A and B are shown apart, each in its own frame.
Chain A
Amino acid sequence: MSDEVPASGSPQPSPAQRATSTSTCLASSGTPEEDSSRANSRRYGTGTPILTCIAKFTWETFVLKAETLMETAPQKSRQTPRADSDMAPAQLYSTMSGRLFHSGRIAIVMVGLPARGKTHICVSMARYLQWLGVKTRIFHLGDYRRATVGEGEDVPEDYFFPNASPASVMLRQKILKKCREDIYAWLNHDNGQVAIYDAVNPTASGRLSLAKEFAKHDVQTLFLESYVDDENLLRENARNVKINSPDFEGMDPDEAAKLYLRRIEMKIPIFETMTENELNYIKMINAGQKFFYNNVSFNYLSHRIVFYLTNTHIKSRTTFFVRAGVATEEESFKADAPLSEEGHNYARIMCETILKHREQERESLKEKGGPDVPLRPLSVWTSTRMRTLQTADPFTERGYKVRQRSQMAQINPGVCEKLSERAIRRLYPDEVEKHELDPYHHRYPRAESYHDLAVRLEPIILELEREQNDLLIIAHESVLRVLYAYLMHCSTTAIPTLKFPRNEIIEIIPAAYQNEAKRILIPGLDPRIVPSSPEGVRITVPGESPALFPGGGLNSPPETLEGLTISPGSSAPSLVTSPPPQRIVSTSKEAVEDKLLDQD
């Protein structure tokens, strides 16, 4: 059952090469082509044998860990330097090659006319797969076309025509060839596992030959068609995504959408929806209303993708993150202590703040001329730990539905329970050393790593995608870190250090290609209960009280992490009025920014 490719076959990069490639990404300039070639010369090391029992910990594996498992399109590397330090938060296990051993190498080939939401599907699917630990990369054919014909230039009129002129056919071939060569190079030499090939792929014959060609390179294909026959949906897609183009400036949005759709029809006169019985394909109809799949040889990932896609929906709803209140026995994980008096006080103020905020948002929407609609219902999720349950009490009293999920319990500190940093250093010097090398994957004896936590939270992620109500998640900071990282596409290396001070509510608002996060200040809290958990040597369960960690929290300088700017100074209780919520845009936006104007 194993189709694992031995790692020994792939070239091992030297550390020097790696160092160069990393700095290249941080440096930012060059034409798309240059960047693209640079990106392709980058080497991606073998994944770390996280769950393999003989995980030898060497400098080599450490460096490799710092390498990325995920990438954005080649041209985008200049905009998203952080993507290069990304790894997979919820990788179930990994192998020497970094691939899921029961899945092999896969090309997911998108099929569908422009304005069918293909790019949206690509981006969210890639985010999910990367989070699962699958090395995934999107190859937008449009990027290659632009790089070939030149920025701002248009392809010949007959470019998509079945009876195109020889010159257009040549051009088409050249662009396709370059894109496919990059895909093979990445799959063969960079240990890539899933290449998402984003293009129109309008004809059955083209798709059949594509599948054949991939098979020749030992790559399985899974076609994913986005098919829309609902006129309203089509027009809305066109309106939301395409009419920002300068071509349509000043036009009535509906008119612009119609014009845009007509143009597509002119440009791509032939489109055949998928019916090829010999191919593996998923047809997503009207943005997830219906799915059809033709399973010739579906594997693990194909099924996961179907499950994921059936749970995503485009409806906008908000997710709030808040911390649990302070408990009476802060240092102990095992005690599972109830809230202290300040804890109850916090719960009350937090609840009032959040309800007031929702009401205000509704009012301000109305003022801006929005519809006068009632608020979406709010569901509250907690873990089964005492402190999160009790923090939800004010909501229960007001009649909100509170659901408990045992998967959302905080990270288990294992042997570090109740130990001070000094004691841990003294008792487990080897473990401390390993932990400092890789705070995301390292697991203290009997403890959970952040990676373990992410795997445990995976079912929650899918449920979160499916939820239609607004959602408030009350959890320990360690859990918030992992969930936030999924929603905002943060790198795994950043996860252990994300900060969620207790006086802030994080509000996450979904948008077409990226989520946005806002911070809402909870006024009037005792500054001693505000700071986030300590990081560094300790995994962060016990001891959230600042008394134990005078160096953390309040006195530390402002830090910027993944765009989440936290300035502890602002948490002083004197600040009663809420500052305007700050907007944080996730990095995945840049990855698709100019796709908004793209036609495939």
Chain B
Amino acid sequence: MAPRANGIGVQVEDTKICVVMVGLPARGKSFIAQKAQRYLQWLSIDAQTFNVGNYRRTEAPHPSADFFDLGNAEGEKRRRAAAEAAMHDMLDWFRQGGVIGILDATNSTKERRKWVLDTCTKEGIEVLFVESKCDDETMIMANIRDVKLTSPDYVGQDPEQAAQDFRNRIKNYEKVYKSLDEDGDENDYTYLKIMDVGSQVIINRIRDYLQSRVVYYLMNLHIRPRSVWLSRHGESLYNLDGRIGGDADLSPRGHQYAQKLPQLVADSIGEDRPLTVWTSTLKRTISTSRFFPENYNQLQWKALDELDAGVCDGMTYQEIKDVYPEDFVQRDEDKFNYRYRGGESYRDVVIRLEPIIMELERSEDIIIVTHQAILRCIYAYFMKKDQSKSPWMNVPLHTLIKLTPRAYGTDEERFSADIPAVSTWRGKGSTAKHENPTPGANI
């Protein structure tokens, strides 16, 4: 018999892919790299970014623009050494089972790209080049100010001078920069070229499904400002009893929350702008969302239904422990991978939420009214929470969470509705209904 906790997520067979970023500095390469890494890790695909700049930095912490001049032999040598060190570490990581490695560097010359391709191919690793090309000067300077001046290279320097230095650094790259397949002799490469933040895109020779998934994900990214609001349903009758699953109605306090939620959301938006509301298909989320104004679009997604507890559906944790003692222990040992008998694991939930994440990346303002386990998974995606921790997070009832994705990381705000509710949090090993969360469980 296969073990119950069979940790098998999205399988990628033996595919190993090196995603090689290409592009001049300040073109959002690192943004793309870290988004892709997060998406893949969330899907339990082992992914890791190798930033050549970080390797170079250990050698030359505060280099001036000259360092990046091709005429500067010393600089060129150091940069080459940094690329080799990053590559070396990445190959090591692949040998230990890594699946998608992201090489974050400018890789702006054909020679450098060929070197990366040959080195990876020798190791049986597919190469997907991802270029971000942008010639819009305002966009570039905006990016420099927002992102680059906080870079470790410029710690403690005058911002104006730093911006100018950075612009000069880019000029040095521009001298040798060749866009992917610019001369038509890189036509055999698998690549994605994104021009001017997605207004033109070239996709060349996609070889397998995993590559196409990464490409599709990157195509759906956008940088327009927006927020995602998350809320659990109002307190339900099952919450009061400490039962899991089911399709129970709201408690009286749960109904109070439903009444207050629209105002809570409106205050948080701060202006009179309609949102799109996503709920699950279960009574408690639909009921919680029933007082939103009519001009809010409401959609029900089956994919947002609570984690299916299979045979344990409708039981209290004490009952589960009594009836399925082994399962109870197994689940606490590996909560992310444990699949309820005839039900789901957190890992299964992540897979079914993948289309939701894709939609979220593409969409603008959305409020999602859903369930504890689902909310933990979505929250973990945005806030980069580790799988071993996210199933244990405390997500209190009657609280609205506002997430605002930024270039690097996501801002979070919380709004309590000030309506009391029971705690549904449970610590490891505990069966207690209504347990107070430990400080470590608070996110």
Contacts and interface: CB of A to CB of B under 8 A. Distances in A.
A158 interface: no
A456 B281 CA distance: 14
Interface in B263-285: 274, 276, 279, 281
B309 to A, nearest CB: 10
B215 A310 contact: yes
Interface in A433-455: 443, 445-446, 448, 452, 455
A386 interface: yes
Contacts of B362: 300, 303
Nearest to A336: B342
Given A295-B198, A307-B212, A311-B212, A93 B13 contact: no
B146 to A, nearest CB: 23
Contacts of B172: none
Contact of B341 (A93, A336, A407): A336
B198 A384 contact: no
Nearest to A309: B203
B348 interface: yes
A274 to B, nearest CB: 12
A302 to B, nearest CB: 10
A2 interface: yes
Contacts of A336: 310, 341-342
Contacts of A404: 6, 8, 11
A334 interface: yes
A466 interface: yes
Given A101-B297, A406-B348, A466-B212, A458 B341 contact: no
A529 interface: no
Contacts, number: 127
A389 B344 CA distance: 16
B300 interface: yes
Interface in B285-311: 286, 289-290, 297-303, 308, 310-311
B295 to A, nearest CB: 9
Nearest to A293: B201
Contacts of A334: 310-311, 313, 341-343
B443 interface: no
Contacts of A576: none
Interface string A451-478: 0100110110011001110000000000
B297 A2 contact: yes
B352 interface: yes
A295 B200 CA distance: 6
Interface string A340-358: 0000000000000000000
A466 B352 contact: no
Contacts of A101: 297
B288 to A, nearest CB: 11
Interface in B211-253: 212, 215-216, 219-220, 247
Contact of A53 (B279, B311, B342): B279
B4 to A, nearest CB: 9
A41 interface: no
Contacts of B339: 384
A403 B209 CA distance: 14
A338 interface: yes
B342 A463 contact: no
Contacts of A456: 302-303, 352
A52 B300 contact: yes
B342 A332 contact: yes
Contacts of B297: 2, 4, 101
Contact of B303 (A291, A303, A412, A455): A455
Contacts of A448: 302
Nearest to A93: B299
Interface string A305-347: 0110011000000000000000000001111101000000000
13 contacts: A93-B301, A292-B202, A293-B201, A293-B202, A293-B203, A310-B215, A311-B209, A334-B313, A334-B341, A334-B343, A338-B1, A401-B13, A456-B302
Given A332-B342, A407-B351, A443-B281, 20 more contacts: A51-B299, A93-B301, A290-B205, A293-B200, A295-B199, A310-B216, A334-B310, A334-B311, A334-B343, A336-B310, A384-B339, A405-B11, A406-B348, A445-B247, A446-B247, A456-B302, A456-B352, A462-B212, A463-B209, A468-B208
Interface of A: 1-2, 4, 51-53, 92-93, 101-102, 289-296, 300, 303, 306-307, 310-311, 332-336, 338, 384, 386, 389, 401, 403-407, 412, 443, 445-446, 448, 452, 455-456, 458-459, 462-463, 466-468
Which are the 4 A-B pairs with shortest beta-carbon distances? Answer: A334-B342, A51-B300, A291-B203, A466-B209
